[in-house]
Amino acid sequence: MAQRPFQQVDVFTETPYRGNPLGVVLDGTGLSTEAMQQFTDWTNLSECTFVLPPTDEGHAAGADYRVRIFCPGRELPFAGHPTLGTCHAWLQAGGQPRGEAHVVQECGVGLVRIRRDGERLAFAAPPLRRSGPLDEADVALIARGLGLARDEIVAHAWCENGPPWRGVMLRSADRVLAVRPDAQVLAGMEIGLVAAQPAGSDTAFEVRAFFHGHQALSEDPVTGSLNAAVAQWLIGAGLAPPDYVAAQGTAMARAGRVHIHRDAEGTIWVGGTSVTCIDGEVTL
C-alpha cells in the first residue's frame, strides 16, 4: 500500500457538482488490474482512471502519459469524460506536454490528441469502430425498452468507438427527457438518445446515455465517447451542423455542456471545461 496523488474532477461543466465526476489516481504504477477495478467499484463513480508512464511504443509515437480507464465491473478502451478529466488533473498536477500543439494520451484505443483552448480541453474523436444503421430487430427492441412507439425513433446508427453505443434520435428533446428505460429489456445494450432542442434554446441537442455496469442499467450524467460518436454520425448524415453544443445530464439535475467542432481537416473535436473538486491522496 502506498499514498498516491488523487483528484476528483467534475467534467463538462464550469460549475462544480453539475457535470460528471471522475476519480483520477495520478500514479498508478505497480497496481494490478484487480486493484484498479476494486478501487473503481468502491468509489461508486461512473469511471476512475489511473495514470501511468507511456509504453515504449507510445512514447516513441509522442504520448505524454498512458491512462487505464475503469467503470464499475470492467475496463474501457476509451471514454470521453475520463480523457478530458484525466488530462485536466495531469496538467493541474504539473504535467508538461512534450509538444506545443496537443497533449497526447495513450489508452486502449491508441493515441488520443487533446488540445487546450483556455480553460476548455477538447479531444479528437477516435474513428468509429462500427457505424451504419442498426438492425431493425435492435431498433424495435430499443423502442420497447424505452417505452416508445417504433415511429418515435426517426434515425439510428451504430456509434461504437470503444464502448458499443447504439445511437437513436427521437423527435423532440422533451421526449428524450421523458424516457424511463426498462433495464431487463435493454440488458447488454448501451444506448445513446439524442434529439434537437426547440428553436431559441442555448444548446442544439439534448443527449442521454444508458449503460450497464456490473449490477444494473445506469444513466451517465455527461458522456464524451457517446457525444464524439453521435457527432460523427449526425454531422456525417447532415443531421447536425459542424459546430454545436449539446446538453446532457438535465434529467439528473446536472448541467453538462459538450462543445462539438469539426475543423477544416474534418477532425471532430469534443470539448468541455473541468473543475477539480477534491485534491489529495489515496492509500492504494
For the chain of 284 residues, list the mean pLDDT of each consecutive stretch of 10.
Answer: 96 96 98 98 95 98 97 90 97 95 93 92 94 97 97 97 93 97 94 97 97 78 95 98 98 97 96 98 97
Tally Cβ neighbours within 10 Å of residue 157.
25
Same domain, 255 and 141: yes
Residue 277, in any domain of the structure: yes
Residue 130, in any domain of the structure: no
**Residues, the chain:** 284
Residue 17, in any domain of the structure: yes
Same domain, 211 and 155: yes
Same domain, 254 and 278: no
CA-CA distance, 207 to 35, in Å (whole number)? 33
> What CATH number should be reported for the domain holding residue 192?
3.10.310.10
Same domain, 120 and 25: yes
Same domain, 258 and 144: yes
Same domain, 89 and 208: no
Residue 164, in any domain of the structure: yes
Same domain, 148 and 244: yes
Same domain, 215 and 276: no
Same domain, 53 and 70: yes
Full-prediction pTM beyond 0.85? yes
CA-CA distance, 170 to 185, in Å (whole number)? 19
Residue 131, in any domain of the structure: no
CB 24 within 8 A of CB 89: yes
Same domain, 170 and 227: yes
Same domain, 277 and 258: no
Tally Cβ neighbours within 10 Å of residue 119.
11
Same domain, 83 and 150: no
CA-CA distance, 206 to 216, in Å (whole number)? 23
Residue 146, in any domain of the structure: yes
CB 51 within 8 A of CB 67: yes
Residue 253, in any domain of the structure: yes
Chain centroid to Cα 23, Å, comes to 14
In total, how many domains does the chain have? 2
Residue type, 116: R
Which domain does 65 fall in, by range? 3-124+271-283
Run of H or E including 124: strand 120-124
Q: Please, where are the H alpha helices in 44-110?
A: 56-60, 80-92
